[in-house]
Every structure is written in C-alpha cells, then in structure tokens.
Copies of this chain bind each other. A is one copy, B any other.
Amino acid sequence: MTTATAPSTHPLVDKHAEVIAQATQALADRSYFSRFPESPSPRVYGEGSAEAGQAAYEALRDNAFGGLGDVRTDGDWVGEEVSPYGPALGITYPHLDVDAALAAATEAIPAWRDAGARTRAAVCVEIVEQINARSFEIAHSVMHTTGQPFVMAFQAAGPHAQDRALESIVAGLVEQERVPASVVWEKPGRDKEGNPAPLRMQKDYRIVPRGVALVIGCNTFPTWNGYPGLFASLVTGNPVIVKPHPRAVLPLAISVAVCREVLAAAGFSADLVQLAPEAEGEGLAKVLAERDEVRIIDYTGGPTFGGWLEEHGAARGQLVYTEKAGVNTIVVDSTDNLRGVLGNLAFSLTLYSGQMCTTPQNIYVPRDGIATDEGQLSFEDFGVKLAAAVGKLTGDDARAVELLGATVNDGVRANAAGLAELAEEAGGTVVLDSREVAHPAYPDAVVRAPGLVSMDASREDVYTQECFGPVTFLIGTSGTDQSLAQFRDTVREHGAMTAAVYSTSEDVLDAARDAAADAGVALSENLTGPVFVNQTAAFSDYHGTGGNPAANSAYVDAAFVANRFRVVTSRRHV
C-alpha cells in the first residue's frame, strides 16, 4: 500500500530535495526566501534569454496554440484576446469537451494519489522550475493581456508568482507529511489473570485527494493569483482544470502547457492539469463549478460571482477559496519623514495604474492636518503634496508608462474619467485628476495616472464602494481616532487586502494594530522606502488574511492547504 510518506524512487525527489528543504524551513520561520531571481537582467537569466522569450511570445501570435498537446477538445477553437496596449493577440485555444475532460481528470487520480506527497511535490517543483525558464515569454504574455508594464509583468507574473507557487507546494507537502504513514497503537491492558495484555493495532494513514479542482483565473494577475490554488490542489493529489479569464488566457495556457509536459515526462497523466478556455460570455466557469466531479474551487474576481460560488459550492460540498474585492486603507496620523511618505505612497498609487487588488483606495487624514518633520501640514496641503509627488513620478510620459502600464478594461477607464462627477456626488474635490498619458510605443493604449478625490468621512456611501483603478480617496476625519474607527469598521464590513498606517506615536501604532486585528487585515507601518503596501513577499507575508470580506483565504497558510486532501485510515490487529 502506498502512503503519503512512502519512500519514493522518483528521480525528481532527489533533484528537488534541497530546494524543498530550504523553502520548508523558510515557510516555518516566515523568513526571507526566494527561489527565483526577480531581476530580468541577462546576468541572472542569461544573455539572449530576454530576446528569446520575446521571440517565443511573438511566435505564438496569430496562431493556434499547440503547446497543450493531446487535449480533450470538442474541436472548437476559441480566443479573442486583445492587448490593453492595442493589438489583438490573434491566438486561439482548443475548447474543452467538458465531459471528456472531467472523465480524464478523474481517471488520472489513482496513480497521482498513490505516487505519494513527496513525489507530487517534486514534480510540482519541476513544473515551476520549467515555468521559470519561460519567464520572459510569460512576461510578454502577461503584459499583453493584463496591461501591466513589462518589468512588473516579468517580476510579479514571473519569479514572484513562481515563489508563491513554491510556497504553496511546500505548504501542501508539509501538511501531508504531518500525518504519519503508519503507527502501531498500543493500549495498555491486562488479561483475566492480571498479566499485561496490551491491545495492539497497526494503523495506516493514507492521503486521498478531494477530487477535481477548478482554478478560475482573473484578468489582472492570471499567474500570481492562479498558481497558489493550482499547486495547492495538485500537490495534494487533485487534478486541476484551469479556466482562465477570457482576456488573459495566454499566461495560463503557457503555464498549463508546462504542467502537462512535465507531468507526462515524469510518468503521469498530462490530464492532471487541463486548460478550459472559453469564448467570452460562454459562462464556462459556472458550467464547471456545477459539476459534481469538481470538489475544490479557487477563484479570483468580482464579488458577485465569488459569492455565488461560495454559496452554491457549499451546497454541493465543494471547498471554495475566493479573493474578491475590498477597500484598501491607509491611516495618516503623523510622520518624521514626509518626503518618504509621499514618495512611497505615490509609487503605491502609480504602480499598474492602481489596478492591483492591493492598491490603497482610502487614505484617512485628519481635517486638522498632521504633524510632520516639515511642520504641521493641513489636510488640503497633504493632498497638494501627494498630488505633486504623483505628478513628479508620472510627469514624463515615456517613464510613466513603465510604471503605469495600460488600463485593462472599460470599467477602469470609466472610473479614471469620472473623477469630477464622483467628487460632485461626494461633495468633495478633485485634488488631482487622472491624467491621460500617451504611450510612446503603443498609441492605442489607454494609460492613466492616479487621480485623487477628497471627501468627508461622513461619505461612507461613496468611499466604501470599490473604485478599481487609478482613483484614490483622501478622506477628512475629525482626527486619528475617527480614522482608525472608520478603518476598522469599513474593512470589517467591506473587506480589504491591505492596510497601512503612518505615525510617529507608539500609542497610535498600537491602536492601529488593534484596529487591524479587529478588522482582520495585515498592517504596514511607516513605509517610506522601497517596500510598498501593495506588495507581499512569499514565505513571509500572507497575501490576504481570510478574515474579512475581501478574501476567504490567505496565501499560503495551513488552512489554505489542509482541507484539500483527506486522510483515510485502515487499522487491524497485530
């Protein structure tokens, strides 16, 4: 009988033992660890690798995507991706035959289950290593589906996403290996004569997967938000069907292609990972979610469909992990480094035009102003100075687009264009309009710099709605007490992925920590350097907490992996 920790002779186990050991230690310590270098420099990735990656991406354009090999298709080809930078990608993908795909996934379970956790983890690490080798190709695919600027696309969708994948793999492995493969259980006892007669049983604990897992990708971070669920399910024995956002198929298509190649080369069914591309409007996610074979769903996207998945999934006994939406919040109380605060905040708002699920939306500032190293600063002047910092960072079009990227959809563009209307509705002021930036290389791209609207803390009706994109609210409060109370209450009710506080007062920082604990959101304190509230580091920072409405789970804690498999005991007397 095979058990989770049965010794395995699969060659990949030895190959990846050391990186798994290092990553496991880092995850336990939550210390710094990164397997995949974030610099796209040729000194790191090799001379010519950037050019080769770009060429590989270009070769995929205007073509049928063949990298998935022999797939369970109904014969249709779908795909209508258009780059936020302008050009249509012209790529089509084989459309799944859902019945055949689910049957193939189910059929693949026993061999994958019985391979054991360590072999599965090693195969998963090999997949991520092979994905890493295609980071430049993936970066271009992400840039032209999400609108991310190139360097960000490389880092966030490449090495950072790969580190999150590795984190997920080792978290799943650790969790499975916490269960011993076997134990001899001996209960003391005596026979009728009073002599010791222990009751002895051998108990074997077998790790079994839940069933087919479904990953539903998002438009803005297809790999970064897609990998944790994909690898958490795969390493725990579940075959995975990846349903990408119809406008961001390619990054996940390449990733799934690598999964299938590595699985097949390692002696397993390629159908353990399948891609489910759809025609826009097809509603394939719902079709798949409603299948009884699907036992796990990972979802990143809007709250309406996310809520539907949670409710209907529970009724079907599915596990549903969601990341939806929220109102990320910053409380500004005081600082001894105003320049650092403004620079840090300006960058946070600018990066990818505020289209990160972690970009701050609500900045609470006392109406009476704040104490700074440059003297007392009024609420209005704080807005003016933050606007100036954003303006300085994004003033030059050619440099700005390398931070801003392009707007991903019409919703973002409408939000960016609607600041005056929004300010009027909120009884507030446009402190900085969202500037239209001309992209020197892509004239069709709609690029927008951050805008700022100030309003009063009483206008909860406006600022507790998520306004996705380059729009930030400066909210005037009666003081830091009100700022913290609003922070706590609005995040508890509406959710947030991130929060930050600026204060020179230990009392205020303590109160902010308590408010963050009550609200269930991670807190960054006094970030004035090159760490930004929007960014989390794999192995150390949790992404989300699962403790407020923005997300029901966190990358990557034990709860994210522990329920994706079950333990089946068999026991007998010995």
A interface list, Cβ under 8 A from B: 1, 28-32, 34, 110, 113, 175, 178-180, 183, 185-188, 199, 201, 203-206, 208, 210, 307, 310-315, 317, 320, 510, 513-514, 516-518, 520-531, 537, 540-542, 545-547, 549, 552, 554, 557-559, 562-563, 566-573
Contacts and interface: CB of A to CB of B under 8 A. Distances in A.
Contacts of A566: 520, 545-547, 554
Contacts of A562: 557-559, 562
A571 B501 CA distance: 10
A568 B547 contact: yes
A306 B320 CA distance: 18
14 contacts: A110-B514, A199-B529, A204-B513, A206-B513, A208-B547, A310-B317, A517-B568, A531-B573, A541-B571, A545-B567, A545-B568, A546-B563, A547-B566, A557-B562
Given A566-B547, A569-B541, A185 B31 contact: yes
B522 A570 contact: yes
Max chain B C-beta neighbours (<10 A), residue from A1, A199, A315, A569: A569
A217 to B, nearest CB: 22
Please tell me how many copies of the chain the complex holds.
Answer: 2
8 pairs of A and B residues whose beta carbons are closest in the complex: A314-B314, A547-B566, A559-B563, A525-B572, A311-B315, A559-B562, A558-B562, A523-B570
B567 A554 contact: yes
Contacts of A320: 314
A311 B569 CA distance: 29
Contacts of A514: 110
Contacts of A527: 572-573
B541 A203 contact: yes
A569 B546 contact: no
B1 A510 contact: yes
A489 to B, nearest CB: 13
Contacts of A525: 570-572
A187 B523 contact: no
Contacts of A208: 517-518, 520, 547
A237 B1 CA distance: 40
Max chain B C-beta neighbours (<10 A), residue from A32, A317, A517, A549: A517
A178 B537 contact: no
Nearest to A573: B529
B572 A524 contact: yes
Max chain B C-beta neighbours (<10 A), residue from A113, A199, A542, A566: A566
Contacts of A545: 566-568
Nearest to A38: B187
B568 A537 contact: no
Contacts of A179: 30, 557
Nearest to A180: B30
Contact of A178 (B199, B554, B558): B558
B573 A526 contact: yes
A203 B571 contact: no
Given A517-B206, A571-B523, A30 B563 contact: no
Given A314-B313, A520-B568, A566-B545, A31 B1 contact: no
A347 to B, nearest CB: 15
A552 B314 CA distance: 10
Given A208-B547, A522-B569, 9 more contacts: A317-B552, A513-B570, A522-B570, A525-B572, A527-B572, A542-B567, A542-B569, A545-B568, A557-B567
B541 A187 contact: no
Contact of A210 (B201, B510, B547): B547
